[in-house]
Structure 1
Amino acid sequence: MVSKPPGCLIAFGLCLALSLGWIAPAGAYAQVLYGSITGNVADSSGARVPGAEVKIVNPDTNYTQSAVSNETGIYTIKNVPGGTYTLTVTMTGFKEYEAKNVSVTVGNVTRHDVALQIGQLSDTVSVTGAATLLQADTADVHVQLETKEITNLPLGAYRNYQTLINLVPGATPSEFQNAVTDTPMRSLTTNVNGTARNSNNTRIDGAQSINVWLPHHSGYVPPAETIEVVNVATNNFDAETGFAGGAATTVITKSGTNAFHGSAFALHENRVTNARDFFFYGDKTPHSLRNIDGGTVGGRIIKDKLFFFAGFEATMERLGQSSQVTLPTDDQKAGNFSAYNTTIYDPTTNPRTAFPNNTIPSTRFSPAAVKMQALLPSPNLPGVVANYQATGIQDLNRYNTDTKIDWYRSQSHHVWGR
């Protein structure tokens, strides 16, 4: 006899499988989740220096990676988590080279060339890392939005980072395209370089985020306070980007560090500060209330090894809505069309014959139609067209909880989950 596993074990297995789907070692998604550093190592005369040891250290997490320059003096460190690093180069017969504040961004190649000076290893030459003005190592066309831009630039309704896509060359102004019922995340859509909206693709920490029912919408929109960087590529995509004909958007969420950091925020809007909607039917400014409150916290669990980051955002919205439609009048519901110029014919006659006095007998009414008709309110405005006006409150209560765990198991093995 073979016994079936309990339902709770099956549920646990499914949850575990889904969770592991979000966890990957450093090499799984290449440049989509990570950046890289490359450059030339040369001496003061410009001659290339092979065999130099290049090491980078993130001062926030003490995460370390290293490489050795090849026979032509070129070094490359791949799959580097985004952040600011201290880069050191050591070689026998030369002074130690140290560069601070070397920035690595997701999806990009950072070039940092090194010029070694003859001397003792105990001597150190320190420089400050500077941004590369010319992108010479990749051919893609992209715009990168980092934490500073996302948190400091004004965001539209719902504090949606997608508002900043308006800054991307070739993008049409982003806009809502569906109702709250269909897109509770209130994601925005846009056309890029003249392509269709559903040609865009969004990845959050490497996983595609697609509203299956409405593929031109992102399925999930992370709160702005939890985002580290947004990379929007619009042309000459790298091979690992793919899945896009318009814009390939990569969103990387924040991770914890050895230091504990947090934030709190609150947004309040009401009808006192809002203008009246031109299309609202009514004399006064409609009821309007929106609160977006939340916070973030991140830090270490095990120093230099295990880190956490968590964010929470609550959106509570009450918006006044109005609509003006056409509803049947009481005499129309009764089948009496004598007051109208249109002749009503009996569909069962041949040749067709008009109903007497242009009135449909009640015996000819469909029972189902009568029941549905009873559910309709009576017009509250004069006339037979646009004769009913209604107002109401649209409610939206949304709670976003984001957590991320990073485990730096070794120099070559980075495990994370969210």
Structure 2
Amino acid sequence: MTKSRSSSVYPRGERVLPAAALAAVFLCLVAGAASAQTIGGTVSDETGGVLPGVTVEARSPALIEQVRTAVTDGNGQYRIVALEPGAYSVTFSLAGFSTLVREGIELETGFNANVDAEMAVGQLAETITVTEASPVIDVQSIEQSAAIDRDIYESLPTARQYDNLALLIPAMNIAGGSTTSLSADTAGISGEGRNRMSIHGSQPNDAEVHFDGMDISSPSFDGAPHFTPFDTGIAEFVYDYSGNSAEVETGGVRLNMIPKEGSNQFSGSLRLDGTHSAWLANNVDDELLGRGITGGRDGGTALDQAWTIAPAIGGPIAEDRLWFFATYSFRRGSIYPANNFANTDTSSLAYVPDVDRHMFTRKDISEGSLRLTWQATSKDKVQVYGSLPGNRRHILPALSGADLDPLYIAPEAGSENEAWVNTYQLTWVRPQTNRILFEFGVGMQPVSNRWPDLSTEVQRMRGTGREDINARPDLPGVFEATTSTMSRNMGFIFQGTEFHISTTNTNVRGSMSFVTGSHNRKLGTQINQKFELFA
């Protein structure tokens, strides 16, 4: 594994985050690294003798080509790679033997199903159908992972965000979110968390967040993504947390969010949810009162409003040829964070909370996406994904309160935040033969952040209705070192009262896999460049 860093010259007034780097990972003949989900096993006759030359077909409505084929080798072993998650039936056929059909095989993301078969002497016209429990233990891989799909998260009263779902895994920890004062937002009331994940002593900064294999981690906050995709377009959240393959360059948790795709049938969904402000309990007790919590009984986190609307539709454009899946989602999370009170006098050198003015912070997040699946030829499968018009985030005020813990940022020393995150991805898969598999993918995620100040004039001009925050950009910013408190305006830490951040996250990957029944080899490269510009 090698890493290289790139450097360039940029115009004055602009800075490149030092952590931005160009990482190239070369996988040279890695054992057991064949891609995605697989079905494999050994075929024998009734005496236990292995059977070479058996034709094995894996069928599923999840495959746009409907069927994938392999042939057993001299040891009677076979393996079918690069399958989509879903329900499969496996057919075994060989001259002189009855055809055997094994049904009820369920594949989750990253799972290697071991499906052995024992064939009886007979005619090909005779078919024996066997329905057994689907394999639940992966005996082909040492990787430890957990897949959380919609059957799980739609039945649980939890926010459908990657960091909250991670807590369903024993020993998983989340912490260090860059955009919320809540360490664990189990109800989704804050809009999004963007927390880092760790487990079994791993480092939160070593976590990686991927979208269909594309790294979307932020250069500014290692281990956290630029945005939290809505669950509307996600089929599975897959957490790899131990025994990661050579394709993962760190030892931390890797999350891969697998987007949904269409099928040969039209289907749709509509998610509507919300909560009332009175439904959020208050845990401010006598102990906290005795410790002097600011605001007394009303000093804890309170809810303003939280609701989501998210329609989705998918289906065929051309049956067995071209599928689509489209979504649009909107979420509002508006809360009164604990200990987040207006400054009594924003021109003062000291922050003095006005306990009669508990300030709320609001996040409006919207996202549209489209995924196309195209079976270009009998072997070539192409998938295109685009977030259209993208993931848009509006936070007001942003980076206030405990958002950048251990700093405390008074409301007027935060900012308004408008962010646009677009994600584009193209992938290609070609099973050249039942032994050789080619894969290629390229992705880009441009991000634009704007951070205007919270002065009365700017907020009135922008029509936000938050003139009451009353930042003072006409005065120097204040930082009180004894309490780690910023006040008056955001100039102390951001060196100005309005700034922009532009980020581009580019991924390229390609590989060739050589697969037999008993051995898998993969040769490929992954290149990830993260570029961040402050202005």
CA distance in 2, matches of 1:398, 1:32: 37
Q: CA deviation at 1:200?
A: 0.9
* Letter of the structure 1 residue corresponding to residue 295 of structure 2: Y
Say yes or no: does 1:239 pair with 2:269.
no
1:276 to 268, 274, 282: 282
CA distance in 2, matches of 1:387, 1:92: 84
Decide whether the 8 Å contact of 2:40 with 2:115 is kept in 1: yes
SS in 2 for 1:218: coil
Q: Deviations over 1:243-265 (max 9, x none)?
A: 23121222211111001111111
1:308 to 301, 320, 324: 324
Q: Deviations over 1:268-304 (max 9, x none)?
A: 1121111236357276695511111112111111101
Q: Which residue of 1 aligns with 2:61?
A: 59
Decide whether the 8 Å contact of 2:88 with 2:105 is kept in 1: yes
Q: Which residue of 2 aligns with 1:250?
A: 256
2:336 to 320, 327, 333: 320
Decide whether the 8 Å contact of 1:295 with 1:313 is kept in 2: yes
TM-score, length of structure 2 as denominator length = 0.57
Gapped runs of 5+ residues in structure 2?
Answer: 1-31, 182-189, 285-292, 386-535
Decide whether the 8 Å contact of 1:62 with 1:304 is kept in 2: yes
CA distance in 2, matches of 1:202, 1:287: 29
Specify which structure has the higher proportion of strand.
2
CA distance in 2, matches of 1:298, 1:325: 47
Give the number of the structure whose alpha-carbon radius of gyration is greater.
1
Say yes or no: does 1:188 pair with 2:191.
no
Aligned length: 333
* Letter of the structure 2 residue corresponding to residue 82 of structure 1: P
SS in 1 for 2:373: strand
Q: Which residue of 2 aligns with 1:97?
A: 100
Q: Which residue of 2 aligns with 1:150?
A: 153
Say yes or no: does 1:296 pair with 2:312.
yes
Q: 1:385 to 1:189 in 2, by over 3 A?
A: closer
1:259 to 265, 272, 295: 265
Query: Percent identity of the aligned residues?
Result: 20
Decide whether the 8 Å contact of 2:327 with 2:369 is kept in 1: yes
CA distance in 1, matches of 2:43, 2:75: 9
Q: 1:412 to 1:276 in 2, by over 3 A?
A: same
Any residues of structure 2 matched to 1:257-406 within 5 Å, and which? Answer: 257-276=263-282, 278=284, 281=295, 286=302, 288-321=304-337, 323=340, 376=347, 386=352, 388-389=354-355, 390-406=357-373
TM-score, length of structure 1 as denominator length = 0.72
Q: CA deviation at 1:197?
A: 0.6
Decide whether the 8 Å contact of 2:343 with 2:351 is kept in 1: yes
SS in 1 for 2:340: strand
Q: 1:385 to 1:217 in 2, by over 3 A?
A: closer
Q: Which residue of 1 aligns with 2:50?
A: 48
Q: 1:259 to 1:326 in 2, by over 3 A?
A: closer
Q: CA deviation at 1:190?
A: 2.7
Q: CA deviation at 1:112?
A: 0.6
Decide whether the 8 Å contact of 1:31 with 1:107 is kept in 2: no
Q: 1:324 to 1:396 in 2, by over 3 A?
A: closer
CA RMSD of aligned residues (A): 2.8
Q: 1:210 to 1:282 in 2, by over 3 A?
A: same
Specify which structure has the higher proportion of helix.
1
Q: Deviations over 1:293-316 (max 9, x none)?
A: 112111111101111111221012
TM superposition outliers: structure 1 runs of 4+ over 6 Å: 30-33, 325-328
Say yes or no: does 1:37 pair with 2:39.
yes
Any residues of structure 2 matched to 1:135-174 within 5 Å, and which? Answer: 135-156=138-159, 159-172=160-173, 174=174
Q: 1:403 to 1:225 in 2, by over 3 A?
A: same
* Letter of the structure 1 residue corresponding to residue 259 of structure 2: T
Any residues of structure 2 matched to 1:125-144 within 5 Å, and which? Answer: 125-144=128-147
CA distance in 2, matches of 1:32, 1:206: 14
Q: CA deviation at 1:51?
A: 0.5
Decide whether the 8 Å contact of 2:163 with 2:197 is kept in 1: no
